[in-house]
Amino acid sequence: MRYSPIALPESSSLMVDKHFQRSLVLLVLIFGLVPLAVAQSSRPRRTTTPPPKQDSLLLPQPTPTPAARNNNVPLLDVRPVKPVGDAPVNPTADTGDTTHAYALFQQGQYAAAAKEAKQIAATDSKNAEAWKLAGFSESALKQDGIAAEDLQKALDLQRAAKQEDPNTLDLLAQAYVAVEKFEQALPLLVIATSRPGAQPDAQLLYYRAIAEYKGGKTAAAEISFNAVVKLNPKDSLSLYYLGQIALTKNDLDGAIAALNRATVNDPKLGAAWMQLTAAYLRRAGTATDQAKADADYLNAVRAGEGLIKVRTDAEAITRFGQALIGAQQYARAATALERATAASDATEVTFYLLGVSQSRAKNFPKAVAALERAAQKKPDDVNVYRELGYAYEVQKQYAKALGAYEKGLALIPGDTDFKESADRVRPFAHPPFKAGFQAKHGLRTPEREAQS
């Protein structure tokens, strides 16, 4: 009868899970992913010491608002509040030179109208109506940068003559938002949404909220977004931003409520699904009641299912896989994350989580393959070496396990768990020392087997 050269002690069976929890906190700090609480399994060792306070699952603040994607509904789609064709351009406000250009504008010949209006403005630079007509025509052509320049000239001339036109101001504000000049847009939008005796237009109020949010005026933006939702309870983008703001304040209940409403109103809003999944994961990770945590992990899976219906990029699938790991659906997580690793934009995080899911599913050869790829992509990630060392050790590849543990120890020399792991496998990684170690500790050796 032969014995395994090393038996992992029961007291050492939970180490990797402890560090997996902490590593996911690190993933939040670096990649904006959300830490998960992982169920116990047969890992080398875990202590019951709680993680340091700075490893709080509430840290860090959520990632900035994602940019618009081709496979997602844009978060900022600027459209004129009033149809450009109905803009009350007054052809009699000057000497009548813009009459023909205005007729072209009314006929929808915006390029011709813009060209003619600019020709008039070139010869008469103080012709506010020509600049205005040029700006409206350019806006209709979605030439927002040029439109903003011409509309600003028109507004300056109008103000100099004390004849400010609300339509010019409103469209200029929208043009500035479209080209992301929020600092210039905000004062105009405050005027546009604060006119005495008039209810603010919900779309202009939304643009004001965006300008405030992008300018770092989060408290003001929250008030404005709430005002938009009051006017239009189904405004999914305002609800999305309210969810974002709630996340920055660690108001997970508020974030989940807002993001759920956003996804109900617009099931194609991928950014809202992404943040909703993250919010459920964060709340599960901070729950003291295991039943509530388990429920939130399942909610995260459901949100992730909504996410991958509208987004199939590696980032979205990785977040879904993370939710599945939290819900202990390891085989399903591995299947999803395999898809993500096939994408050209797959990161080290994706390969790391794939390795974790395969390891929890006890498919150690595939876990090793994924973790080796993660190590290639980010050679200085100590979390990868914890998981990789364990996967090697379970498969009795002690030399490779020692190499992984020693790489981790080189990155963080004071880590006692890496040191203990390296010391545990070192005698079995070097055959000349193996027999002496086994004899010293009363373990069966090939020589003793022969004698018996």
Categorise residue 96: left if φ over 0, alpha if ψ from -120 to 50, beta otherwise: left
List all residues 6 or more positions away from 382 whose beta carbon is below 8 Å from its beta carbon: 23, 408, 411, 412, 415, 418
Task: Look at residue 97 in the predicted model and tell me its pLDDT.
Answer: 81
Structure tokens at 422: 């390296």
Reported residue count of the chain is 452
End-to-end CA separation in angstroms for the chain = 10
Q: Is residue 306 exposed (0-12), middle (13-18) or buried (19+ Cβ within 10 Å)?
A: buried
332 CB-near residues (< 8 Å, 6+ apart): 324
Residue 5: partners with Cβ closer than 8 Å, 6 or more residues away: 396, 398, 428, 434, 438, 443
- Residuewise pLDDT in 10s, the chain (452 residues): 333 334 443 333 355 565 555 444 345 434 454 444 443 333 333 333 333 333 322 223 333 333 333 334 456 555 555 544 455 455 444 444 889 999 999 999 999 999 999 999 999 999 999 999 999 999 999 999 999 999 999 999 999 999 999 999 999 999 999 999 999 999 999 999 999 999 999 999 999 999 999 999 999 999 999 999 999 999 999 999 999 999 999 999 999 999 999 999 999 999 999 999 999 999 999 999 999 999 999 999 999 999 999 999 999 999 999 999 999 999 999 999 999 998 888 899 999 999 999 999 999 999 999 999 999 999 999 999 999 999 999 999 999 999 999 999 999 998 999 999 999 999 998 765 545 445 554 544 433 343 44
- Is there a cis peptide before residue 60, judged by omega within 30 degrees of 0? yes
pTM strictly above 0.85: no
DSSP string, 23-67: HHHHHHHHH----------S-S----PPPPGGG-TT-SPPPPPPP
Cα 393–399–404 angle (5° rounding)?
Answer: 70
The predicted pLDDT at position 94 comes to: 47
Residues 6 or more apart whose CB falls under 8 angstroms from that of 136 comprise 84, 87, 89, 105, 147, 151, 171
Closest to 318 in 3D by CA, of 355, 289, 285:
355
Burial 60-98 (b: 16+ CB within 10 A, else e): eebeebeeebeebbebeebebbeebeebebebebbeebb
Beta strands in 71-211 (DSSP E): none
Cβ(113)–Cβ(125) below 8 Å: no
What DSSP letter does each residue of 125-162 carry, written as one string?
TT-HHHHHHHHHHHHHTT-HHHHHHHHHHHHHHHHHTT
Distance separating alpha carbons of residues 70 and 82, to the nearest angstrom: 26
Most distant CA pair in the chain: distance in Å? Answer: 117
The answer to whether the CB of 387 falls within 8 A of the CB of 20 is yes
Residues 6 or more apart whose Cβ sits within 8 Å of residue 292: 284
